[in-house]
Amino acid sequence: MNWNGIIVGTAVFLIIGICHPIVIKMEYHWGKKSWWVLLVAGLAFAALSLFVDGLVLSTIIGAAAFSCFWGIHEILSQEMRVLRGWFPENPRRHAYYERRRAELSDLGPHPDHSRMKEKLKG
């Protein structure tokens, strides 16, 4: 029997499960400007995966790299979730969130995702 697929699948499941709360905590404490930490981690994992012997371990490390890259997108989206009230905001960063809400006030009480995303790019 070949367990490689089960091992890789389990590892990827755990990596994704670990990355989700990391993204939430990063946005809460440091805001979306912390995206570069995920970029550096992703690049480091990607480089490491090139030099690791063993297909299974290299695949798992590569999956960690691309989970970090996906985390960049998620940390930017997490700010939108906080602004919508879906996640708690950091009270120390309340002024920042209020300023962002004021920037979005012309979109109405329930802006659609695409209009809000365009407005938040700044």
∠ Cα 23 14 18 (to 5°): 20
Measured CA to CA, the distance from residue 21 to residue 32 in angstroms comes to: 14
pLDDT digits (tens, 9 = 90+) for 51-103: 999 999 999 999 999 999 999 999 999 999 999 899 999 999 999 999 998 88
- Is-contact 6 58, C-beta < 8 A? no
- Is-contact 12 1, C-beta < 8 A? no
CA atoms within 13 A on the CB side of 83: 28
User: Would the pTM count as exceeding 0.85?
Assistant: no
